[in-house]
Structure 1
Amino acid sequence: MAQQVLRIKIYQSDAHYRIPFSYQRRFTYPIPPHSTVKGLICNVMGIKSSEDEKFINLKQGLSLAIYGTYESLVKEYLWFRNLEKDSHISKFKSVKNRTVDNIPNHPGGQMPVTVDVLHNVDLIVYVYHPELMEEIRQAFENPSARLSILHLGRAEDWIVIKEIKLIDIIKDNVSQLSFFAWIPSPADIDDELIPDKENYEKFYTQVNGNLFRLPIFYEITNSNQRIFNRYIEAKLFEKGGFRKQSFYMDSELKIPLFFAKLRAD
């Protein structure tokens, strides 16, 4: 059993973690899914592709636990533009035309979209890897190899890292959690980081939360499409209480740790 895990505290003034298949009204999860946090880790470590040796090592042992709160949710009204040829013709009736009612317009078609945006988001992300945890910690402390500005969700949703720390974990009883959290299914929980698998199965059956099937790994096709091929199931816990249970916990913050194992196979 792991004795230590990496704790990363993150602040975002604005954030949108898009729920797939929401289009004209783009809904957001209250906390980022595991694939989004995995993408941040790849960013800080400078991992450019799935063929990278670091990525191959990362996906063989990475486990994540994600928690968070936000102050408010605001609906932003935007125009999304489609620059495909057919979309332009549908609006302007000709490839060369750029005017409507004798007024010049931007090319392509456009659609009004509502985007849910979270304000003043505080996240706590726990990372465990049997081999790379120290390397991940150093990458966050000095992200000199990063591929882009550090963000979660949209590219414009920059993050502020408030803390990076290796912390001890302890076993204790708990019946309350004041954060949004992903609670992985018994098939996707990291068995090394729960005291008792059978009791966890009972807890998972009884705990409140909407069930989601979350993508975690994908492949890029020859036509440059992203096809997800590995999923986990998790409940989204929305703060509150549950039947008292024994968990491994953050020894300082007393947060029960629900680590989802992110494995390629």
Structure 2
Amino acid sequence: MKGIRLRLYQNLVNYKKTTSFQLKETYPLPPPSTIIGMVHNLCQYKEYKEMEIGIQGKYYSKVNDLFTRYEFKNGMKYDKSRHQLKVEDFGVSRGVATTELLVDVELLIHIIPKDQSLVQEIEKAFLYPVEYPSLGRREDLLIIKEVKVVDIREEMLNDDIELKQDQTAYIPVHMIKDESIKLLGAGNGIRNRGTRYKLTKEYKLVDYGTKRNPKIFRKWNKVDVIYTSGIIAVEDELILIDEDDIVVFAI
């Protein structure tokens, strides 16, 4: 099968954790849903296209940045003793909050659409984007360093493939469990060295209300991964690799 390999760079970025509020924490790499959303936006798709995503990368450091935060409660009237802003008759509070940012992010992304006829279309969307592309927040612009259509195959490895020490990735948990991937420094019963995440990938709209009073929510499909480094693809195991022998951790 074919896929699109991207090499991307971002100066400062936040891939926000959905459960963080007071401090807007960031994931160390973008979750699949963030990348899939970017692809759909650049391709101007109006309905979901199934795809698998491989996510690798690294960043130099983290910093915290301040931003202005606005808060309001539906229907709360303006009170000059507690609100900084008045919008018609309603009150809005204005304060300061903190965002966690990754610095000098380098990403290696594989996009594998289920419908292989979309490969050229997705490649073109990154070669000639309809707008300046961003990943993370709207203001988190990215620089596209490489766009390449690659052949991706499942192959029994003749030798180990060891990723660079500073290269991290989201690895599907099953690849650790079946020992097709091993981790440097793991051992003595500690096989899952890294951080385990359940990352959002795609969602379905589900109605939890009634016919008279529908309540539509997003029901997310989440994927179980390990975020880690010191990664080795093991010889004599079936592993997805591209035509340049780069391992693809398809999620």
Question: Which TM-score band (shorter chain)?
Answer: 0.7 to 0.9
Q: Give aligned-pair identity as a percent.
A: 24
Opposite residue 38 of structure 2, the aligned amino acid is L
- How many residues are treated as equivalent by the alignment? 225
State whether residues 90 and 109 of structure 1, in contact with CA within 8 Å, keep that contact through their aligned partners in structure 2: no
Structure 1 partner of 2:169? 181
Structure 1 partner of 2:94? 110
Give CA-to-partner distance per residue, 1:56-115, whole Å, 9 cap, x none. Answer: xx22xx1110111112210112331114456674673589969xxxxxxxx611343221
State whether residues 80 and 111 of structure 1, in contact with CA within 8 Å, keep that contact through their aligned partners in structure 2: yes
Cα distance in structure 2, aligned partners of 1:133 and 1:203: 28
Cα distance in structure 1, aligned partners of 2:134 and 2:3: 22
Opposite residue 112 of structure 2, the aligned amino acid is Y
Cα distance in structure 2, aligned partners of 1:139 and 1:241: 31
Cα distance in structure 2, aligned partners of 1:35 and 1:81: 26
TM-score, structure 1 length as denominator? Answer: 0.72
Does residue 196 of structure 2 align to residue 211 of structure 1?
yes
Cα distance in structure 2, aligned partners of 1:96 and 1:44: 37
Cα distance in structure 1, aligned partners of 2:148 and 2:70: 42
Alignment partner of 2:145 out of 162, 182, 191: 162
TM-score, structure 2 length as denominator? Answer: 0.76
Opposite residue 248 of structure 1, the aligned amino acid is L
Alignment partner of 1:249 out of 233, 237, 241: 241
Cα distance in structure 2, aligned partners of 1:156 and 1:220: 30
Distance change >3 Å, CA 251–CA 259, structure 1 → 2: same
Q: Give structure 1 stretches of 5+ with no counterpart.
A: 99-106, 187-196, 261-265
Q: What is the root-mean-square deviation of aligned Cα atoms in Å?
A: 3.2
Opposite residue 157 of structure 1, the aligned amino acid is D
Cα distance in structure 1, aligned partners of 2:85 and 2:5: 55
Structure 1 partner of 2:53? 64
Aligned-pair distance for 1:152? 0.5
Higher share of residues assigned helix = 1
Per the alignment, in what secondary structure is the counterpart of residue 132 of structure 1? helix
State whether residues 168 and 230 of structure 2, in contact with CA within 8 Å, keep that contact through their aligned partners in structure 1: no
Does residue 127 of structure 2 align to residue 141 of structure 1?
yes
Aligned-pair distance for 1:138? 1.6
Q: Give structure 2 stretches of 5+ with no counterpart.
A: 183-190, 208-212
Distance change >3 Å, CA 70–CA 93, structure 1 → 2: closer
